[in-house]
Each structure stands twice: as structure tokens, then as C-alpha cells.
A and B are shown apart, each in its own frame.
Chain A
């Protein structure tokens, strides 16, 4: 067995879900798992970029940007139906193993990292989640002082993160940490499809947030039925929340239950897994009190998914932005996951929260 075939056993896939194509993403996760592959945490971690669905213009721009961040050897694929996933993965794996293709790809790439775009744009400008350009806020208060521009070196041509600038807000710990404008999503694992959350961070505290959903292409719609609102959809939400909570073992098992339900089977271990998840004290401690809504907090919602007693409700994007404002990044991610947003049926009106 040579090195490249050994490496192929651990092929790492970055999945991008376009709103509406959750069924395709579930199939992708299932096939990756049965091949012994891994799902990537970030673009730098990935060998394959697989887009599930047909993204619209802004989402396409984001995906292209992320594509530039894969270190290489790399391959990309686009699938629109669950049935097409195995063939697409085979093709991508073959491309990954093809030395000639990879060398040509490497030669064509710029030597320096792509600086990306600014975090300010609502005008079709794009950002992605795990960017190396997260300091790119060009409308920052400090930048207006002409003399500072002259004297201060700007590393990589990007504005310095501001401390004590115009958008510095009162910090509960009086630390006055740097203000960063960090877009979360739309390409981010364990994150609602197409959701773009413009956040303003002080340290790791979200002090302001604005949410929008990036749309799929106009001329295409998914053929597979949606996963949301079905028992499989509930287990998908469980798997996402547990993966974020760092409980890998139960997250993978929840995903397996989801996939068996999608295949039309009756997963045998579901009840036992549900009991195990509900009983975990550490998990309850970690989720208790997060994302409090009238009907309960994140842990209550998790329990409802597990027992199948949840009420279908639609969370407004403004609620999402409100809930995460004032939280640290970890809690914010858990809260968003606990809402189990269905971004497929959403309009793209940006909503703001925070000050």
C-alpha cells in the first residue's frame, strides 16, 4: 500500500449545504462515514469541497473564496440529489489521487493567500466563516484619521483591529479588547445552511450581530424532500448540537440514527441513545440556560427533539441575532444550533441586533 492510498483512507470533506438541500448533505455525511472519511472542521483541514445544491450568486462567491483556502491537493464537487452522492465522491477522489491534475492546479494558484473581501458588504460583497481575513473591516473608525494612516504600518494592507475606537462598547470585564468584525457562515460546519451572521466581536464576546440568509440559485429547486420537520430532521439537529458540544461519540451515533431513518429503517439503538443523551449531567450543565425562549432553553429543546414532542415553530432571524448578542462565541454557536433553523423557507431580509 503506497502513501497516497493510505492518505486517501482519511480523506476529509468540507460539506457546504445550500438552503433546501439538507437531504443531499445528510447523504454526503453518510457516504463519507461509510468510506471511513472525515468531515472537515475548516477549509484548511479539507481535501474535498462538496457543495450540496445550487448556490445563488453570493453563496457561490463565498464557496469560491473557501475553495481558495483549501491547502491542496484538493478537489471539488457539486451534487444536487442524494442518489448522485456516491458517484460524485468517486469522481472527486479520483481527481484527488491524480498527480497530473493536482500539479496543474498547484501551478495555477497564487503564491500568497487571498486577502478576501471586507466584512461590511451587504452589496453582494462576500465573506465566509473561517476566513484568514477576519480583520477586514475597512469602515473602522480609526481609518478616518489621516495621520494615523500615514504612520501606522498596515500588515497585509488590512486595517488594524481597533481597540477603543468608535465601535468599542462597554465590556463587562473592562478589558477593552480588540473589536473584530467576524462573519459566521455561510460556509461553516454544524451551521444552518446559507446563514450569514455578521458579528462584532470584542475578544470572544459577540457585542452586535446581524443575520441574513444567502439564497440558492433561482432556476433550480431540490428534488429530494426536505429533512426538516421529520423524525430524521430532529436527529439531524441532535447530531449537530452534540457535535458542537464536543460529544463526538453521541453525535456520530445520532447521525447514524438519522441516516437509518432516512433509509426507511427503524434504528434499534435510538431509544438507548436518547436516554444516554438526556441523562448526561455534563451536557445538561453545559447547555442549561442557553438561548432561553418562552418555551425553554437549549437543553429543553434537545430533550424535545429526542422525545419527538417539539412544536414546529419558525424562529425569526431577528430572534437569532438577539439571542446571540452578549454571548461568547461558543455559547452563540450552541444557541444557533439549538434553534434548528430551517433556512430553506426564509426571505433574505437582514436584521440587526445589539447596538
Chain B
């Protein structure tokens, strides 16, 4: 299966697709929330639409001596990073940007999120968002290095940093089968850069919403959508790098990618409600003492297999 780069005219379509899948994730989250509240699921499914209507009708607000340019950059940064991430993910046989360094590009975009969340926390000149920003950086120090090595594993196995090649290398066996540790670490890191679930402390209730505290109206909308978009982009990348991308019987390649992305996304959304938040300072020890050595071992195993096969 070869991947062809489509013309730039398709970029809005790709962006719209990302937003639609992200909205579906928000719907699922709303439905699960309605279920635990004992409310009809239908209302929960409408959550993204209703919340959008509410926030678009709400006034924006500023705070005293806010650093507005940086705050705005941070607020828009999450969605921007997510859009740039999916640019390199092949949608079946097509891709928006067929970069030779696709894996590194994804990694670079996830580091961009560091800046975005920090600026969104710094900008309002308010204590709670600032603490949210601190926490994100503390947490990022824990998940980022394991994530980088987890991304190395599929690249080593495929012998290429181009995502099209990574997908092609999985025509026989999905990478998740022989790199389960890298896949698990990757999924935790997706939750990390999406400020999601157990790694949601930077936006958690202990800081009254963290980086979200002072955001209202369209700013809050951008932050929320950015979070869901990052989660979606992470799931799409995970489906591509570990779950075989477009490979699968009967269905066309693009549909397989969509199904796998949706499945991984649904698991991430469902896990959020089932797990409490981990305090960032607690995360450092297991991340550096358990996850990092394990994922290095994983890369070693993959490398040995590749060398032996060659």
C-alpha cells in the first residue's frame, strides 16, 4: 500500500475530519457522564453541541495585567498542535504531508504543547492557572522521555521515520503485538499531552480547573476543543504506528484507520471517568524508574529482532 500526498486543498477537509472525530469523543464523554449521573443518554450525546452554543454566547473575559498575546497563543496552541500532528498521519492511502521525518514531526508537535499549556497558564496572571502550568511542566518531564523512546520502537522496526513506511512495515503483523510496552507508554503519554484523565492534574479540580480557571467564552471553547483534538490526534497516530494503520480485511484502508482511531479514542475517553487523577510529583518515580527502563528494553528487543531478521 503506497501513500500519496494530496494537494493542499484537502487540508480543510482533514481539519474538519479531526474536529468531527473530536466532537464524537466529547459526545461519548457526555453520554458516559450522563449515565453516571443517572440522566438520559440522549442529553449527554448532545454535550459538544450544547457546550459550543453556550460558550459562543458567552462573553470573553480578561484579568488584571494579563499577558494577553501569550495567553492567546497558548489558548490557540493546543488545537494548532493537534492539527499539525494529524497532518503527517496517513488517512488510508492519502496524507496531507508525506514527511520523511513524520515520527519526529509528531514528537516535535507534542513538545509544542508544553509551550501552549504553560502560556495558557502563565497568561492570565492568576495563581491557579499558573500552578496548572507548573504542574504540566512537572508532568511533562515524566512522560516525555518515555514517549520519545516509545516512538523510536516503530521507527526502528520500519527502518524509516516516514509514517507511510511504518504502516507498510505492519502488513504482516501489527507493531502492538511485539511492542506492547511501547504502545502502553505511548497511550499514557497521549493522556499526558492532552491533559487527560489520570494525567489531567494541570486542569484538575484541586486547582479549580487549573489552566482553564480564567478562560470564558471562545477561549474556554478553544482550550476544550484543543484538548479533545490532541487526544484524537494521539489516537490517530497510535492507530497508525502501532495498530497497523489502514491494514485490515474487506474494508477500505481509510475506514480501517477511522475504526481503529475511534476504538483507541473510546478507550481513552472511557478510562478518564474510571480513574482518579495522579498527582504530578507522584508520577516522576514510576515514569523514570519503571517506564523508562522498560521502554528502553523494548527498543533493544526491537533492534535485536530487526538486526537478526536482516
Contact = CB atoms under 8 A, between A and B. Distances in A.
A247 B275 contact: yes
A275 interface: no
A6 B216 contact: no
B279 interface: yes
Interface of A: 3-4, 6-12, 33-34, 36, 41-42, 44-45, 47, 69, 71-73, 106, 112-116, 129-135, 155-156, 158, 180, 182, 188-190, 201, 203-204, 242-249, 252-253, 256, 280, 282-283, 285-286, 328-331, 333-334
B134 interface: yes
A204 B202 CA distance: 12
A73 B57 contact: yes
A282 B198 CA distance: 9
Given A8-B54, A41-B212, A47-B54, 8 more contacts: A10-B53, A72-B58, A132-B126, A155-B65, A204-B135, A246-B206, A247-B276, A282-B198
Contacts of A130: 126, 128, 208, 213-214
Interface string B42-68: 011011011101101111111111100
27 contacts: A7-B54, A7-B57, A9-B50, A10-B51, A36-B39, A42-B208, A42-B212, A45-B212, A71-B217, A73-B57, A115-B64, A130-B213, A131-B126, A132-B125, A132-B126, A134-B126, A134-B128, A155-B65, A156-B65, A204-B135, A246-B200, A246-B206, A252-B36, A253-B36, A286-B278, A329-B207, A330-B207
Nearest to A280: B276
Contacts of A47: 54, 58
B198 A42 contact: no
B209 A42 contact: yes
B37 interface: yes
A246 B208 contact: no
A180 B134 CA distance: 14
A256 B38 contact: yes
A346 B61 CA distance: 36
Given A9-B43, A286-B277, A41 B209 contact: yes
A106 B59 contact: yes
Contacts of A116: 64
A8 B59 CA distance: 15
Contact of A334 (B43, B63, B66, B206): B206
Nearest to A12: B54
A158 B64 contact: yes
Contacts of A334: 206
A242 B208 contact: no
Interface string B203-244: 011111100111111001000000000000000000000000
Interface string B61-89: 11111100000000000000000000000
A283 B278 CA distance: 8
A249 B57 contact: no
Given A246-B204, A329-B131, A45 B125 contact: no
A63 to B, nearest CB: 16
Contact of A72 (B53, B59, B66, B276): B59
Contacts of B280: 330
Contact of A45 (B44, B206, B209): B209
Contact of A256 (B33, B37, B58, B278): B37
Nearest to B200: A246
Interface in B257-310: 272-282
B206 A329 contact: yes
Given A42-B213, A129-B208, A249-B273, A73 B131 contact: no
Contact of A189 (B36, B198, B208, B282): B208
Given A242-B276, A248-B273, A330-B207, A135 B58 contact: no
A158 B64 CA distance: 9
Interface in B20-46: 32-34, 36-39, 43-44, 46
Contacts of A256: 37-38
